Amino acid sequence: MKNILLPGLTLMALCVLGLSVQAQQSAPASNVQWIDAMNLTEVEQGWGQIRAGRSVGGHPITLANVVYTHGVGTHAASTIVITLHGAATRFSATVGVDDEATKEGSVVFSVIADGKELVKTPALRKGDAPQVISVDVTGAKKLTLQLDDAGDGINNDHGDWADAKLDLVPGTQQKPGIIVKPVAPPRYVHQRESDVPQIHGARIVGATPGHDFLFLVPATGKGPFIYSAKDLPAGLKLDPSTGVISGALQSAGTNQVMLSVRGPKGIAKRNLTIVGGEHKLALTPPMGWNSWNVWAAAVDQDKVKAAADELISSGLAAHGYSYINIDDTWEAGRDEKGNIQTNKKFPDMAALSGYIHQKGLRFGIYSSPGPKTCAGYTASYEHEEQDAASYAAWGVDYLKYDWCSYGTIAKDDRSLAAYMKPYQVMGAALNKVNRDILYSLCQYGMGDVWKWGADPSVGGSCWRTTGDILDNWSSLKSIIESQAGHEVYAGPGHWNDPDMLMVGVVGFGKTHPTHLKPNEQLLHISMWSLLAAPILIGCDMTKMDQFTLDLLANDETIDINQDPLGKPASRLVKDGNREVWARPLFDGTKAVGLVNLDNEPQKITVKWSDIGIKGAQSVRDLWLHKNLGTLKGSYTVEVPAHGCVLLKVKGVNKK
């Protein structure tokens, strides 16, 4: 029998059409291996846990009202890799979105044998008839069952491999099984920090004239330091002992300021562009920390203060990280005048803000346009102007505004106007306060937010392009794959946000070291830098190990993320699971990521013609901190599984 994909047909339907069910179950029971009988515990996915014989929600596997005894319930994105040993002849399954999902569920199933794609379904949505897959795998060594979202995020993507099984070669002794890969060492080199002063982070910063201005000059090296600034614009002052620039710009315009940092081992100088004007925030992607991925509802004032303390003491602030953001669960209803109140975990929000500002850092907060936040606390619906005024009075510098319960207001209205409306309302409220508050839209990419988030009627500085990230490979891979093409809508002052970081100790209140493998973490940081995404740390910074610090404090990757040209990377080559991403930088060089999404190491080549350059090029590896020499035409390197080689490529002038 040839490989078949029968859309809309369950096994019962096949019988009705006169097609033999036995044709799908051609092997005797002794020569059949059900996938749900394998050890699936190491399979990662975008949400929840993979389940044998049950849906991902824990119910009987049900497609189009038909219940299946055997099968695997999973959730996009997930990858099941099976070693076959050449012992199987056929794989078959009935696939679709489980009946338990909401109408938002939409998935794509793929079957890959030894790197060759045998079947890829069209996007299957809740309510679509399931499809029967039957593929010849005779002689194959490895089988990959892949479930991806349909390009619209992973919300409710409950996919079933119902009746999934392998027909085996009669008499086979070595049974197929799930492949569990050993953890490969990270492809990076720890770089000792120099004693000689160096200035890092953003090269450009903007603010509204008349509003509070705060900028901590990020500098490393052996101290103590003496900071100075030449041509600082009127209204601003620099504290020579702390490096904090504060005050308020007196007028609009662009100012070129020469910063100097002097220490016992030398002096560093760097130009900083300060831009005054309306809507000049986030001229580079925001960098800082957010409480949710580590603490979730367990966050409190002491944990936020500890994060601010650690941002300074760990040295991360000296590399450009500046925001300390509280996520959900700080709210406690409203007073008799309708003003938002804080709960006992946050007894004095203004004092907490002052504590953070005193360190030269910025302070962020969270709300929702609906009646309730995601965690069920008081949100901003019909109190937007009051809340914006409260935030300004508390000294808030950053607002994350999360869709959540606004879905009960919008109901079934999926129009662009409905998606934009709540963000327009809060945007207008923020414009009325006498304070610069960076506006971060969080609605998971609905309505192609990247196309309208920067609209003047909205005023977003950044916007989530995906659902929530989790600390597993399936989640990270799904997010990376969804970003291609969004880059044309981002730039200085308006950035695509693929969610917060998942490195270090994380866990939403039940903390644990991230489940991302070391090379996956390197890929995570590399891609967020290439994509010009906000870099918001999501870990317990009091428990960072050296590897986590090295990931977060790599100035060569930070320079890519904070590049003042502000052009995010494009995916220029896609060859199966091998990809090449590149972005131009302000100094005429190119940042290039060689990305391996495969489960095995892969050799990947970047051709200079693919990234729009020619001639001899000087190439530097930014994780090995190593110059690779002058190369002509291309560069080829082996990239670890689930990894990235990050390069800086610079043309060599001919003499």
Q: Give the CATH number for residue 88.
A: 2.60.120.1060
Tally of domains in the chain: 4
The closest alpha carbon to 464, from 384, 412, 383, 404, belongs to 404
Q: Which of 36, 128, 402, 436 is catalytic?
A: 402
pLDDT per residue over 527-569, tens digit each? 999 999 999 999 999 999 999 999 999 999 999 999 999 999 9
75 and 147 co-located in one domain: yes
Taking every pair of Cα atoms in the chain, the longest distance, rounded to a whole number of angstroms, is 87
Single out the residue in 145, 178, 211 at which a domain terminates: 178
332 and 431 co-located in one domain: yes
Instruction: Output the pLDDT for position 20.
Output: 31
265 and 302 co-located in one domain: no
CB 544 within 8 A of CB 306: no
Query: How far is it, in rounded angstroms, from Cα 135 to Cα 148?
Result: 19
Residue 284: which pLDDT band, with cuts at 50, 70 and 90? very high
pLDDT per residue over 223-255, tens digit each? 999 999 999 999 999 999 999 999 999 999 999
Q: Which of 163, 468, 497, 563 is catalytic?
A: 468
Q: Is 402 a catalytic residue?
A: yes
Q: At what angle do helices 384-394 and 416-432 cross, to 10 degrees?
A: 40
The closest alpha carbon to 233, from 296, 191, 275, 261, belongs to 275
Which CATH number belongs to the domain containing residue 331 in this structure? 3.20.20.70
Single out the residue in 541, 561, 581 at which a domain terminates: 561
399 and 473 co-located in one domain: yes
416 and 531 co-located in one domain: yes
282 inside domain: no
CB 68 within 8 A of CB 74: no
pLDDT per residue over 133-143, tens digit each? 999 999 999 99
Facing residues of 90 across strands? 136, 167
For residue 227, the one-letter residue type is: Y
pLDDT at 387 over 50: yes
209 and 85 co-located in one domain: no
226-230: strand order across its sheet: 204-207, 266-276, 253-263, 226-230
189 inside domain: no
185 inside domain: no
Query: How far is it, in rounded angstroms, from Cα 467 to Cα 478?
Result: 10
Q: Is 300 a catalytic residue?
A: no
Residue 397: which pLDDT band, with cuts at 50, 70 and 90? very high
16 and 107 co-located in one domain: yes
187 inside domain: no
pLDDT per residue over 419-459, tens digit each? 999 999 999 999 999 999 999 999 999 999 999 999 999 99
356 and 395 co-located in one domain: yes
Domain of residue 251, residue span: 198-276
188 inside domain: no
340 and 371 co-located in one domain: yes
Q: Note the pTM of the prediction, 2 decimals.
A: 0.85
Which CATH number belongs to the domain containing residue 245 in this structure? 2.60.40.10
Query: How far is it, in rounded angstroms, from Cα 586 to Cα 203?
Result: 11
134 and 45 co-located in one domain: yes
Q: Which of 175-184, 377-386, 474-483, 633-642 has the lowest mean pLDDT?
A: 175-184
Query: How far is it, in rounded angstroms, from Cα 569 to Cα 424?
Result: 28
184 inside domain: no
Q: Strands 331-334 and 340-342, how do they pair?
A: antiparallel
Query: Tokens representing 477?
Result: 């891979």
608 inside domain: yes
80 and 103 co-located in one domain: yes
152 inside domain: yes
The number of CA neighbours under 13 Å toward the Cβ of 592 is 30
211 and 270 co-located in one domain: yes
